[in-house]
Amino acid sequence: MSTNSHAPTGTARTDTADVQVVRAFLDALVAGDPDAAQQYLHQDIVWHNVSLPKIRGLGAVMRILRGMSRPGVGFDVRLHHIAGDGTAVLTERTDVLIYKRLRSEFWVCGTFEMKDGKIAVWRDYFSSRDFLWGTLKGIVRAF
């Protein structure tokens, strides 16, 4: 994972516990380890890719995350910015969805709402146009 996890020169990075949870969750997804990722999710998790239907509950979310870890399927992330604000963690990142040789890269802003030290709401905002463009570029690169 290319997380840009190092602070800019001359500054110190001091992550809150909630920011550390989100970083560890994303690291587990990149590692293709949904079981490790599960420990960071609240039982009543709601995952919402804005403009798509919400996915509710740990079982439903885990079915999708396990599907993302099948052979030939994967996920990567380049984390550009991450910040904690109260019980929310905000991210700006480039997500990479991988299917065999196809890599679809697109910009995402995410909000992770925390409850009891776990991710209770995972809301991602992205442009459908950027997602389509990233997929088309990935198809060209794959061939």
124 belongs to the catalytic site = yes
Q: Which of 15, 76, 124, 130 is catalytic?
A: 124
Name residue, tokens 């999710």: 41
95 belongs to the catalytic site = yes
Q: Which of 15, 27, 33, 95 is catalytic?
A: 95
Dist. CA 88–CA 31, nearest whole Å: 24
Token output for 20: 């550390």
**CA terminus-to-terminus distance, the chain:** 24
- Which CA distances in Å does 49 have to 16, 44, 53, 64, 72? 25, 16, 7, 13, 23
- The DSSP bridge pattern shows strands 41-49 and 118-125 to be parallel
Catalytic residues: 95, 124
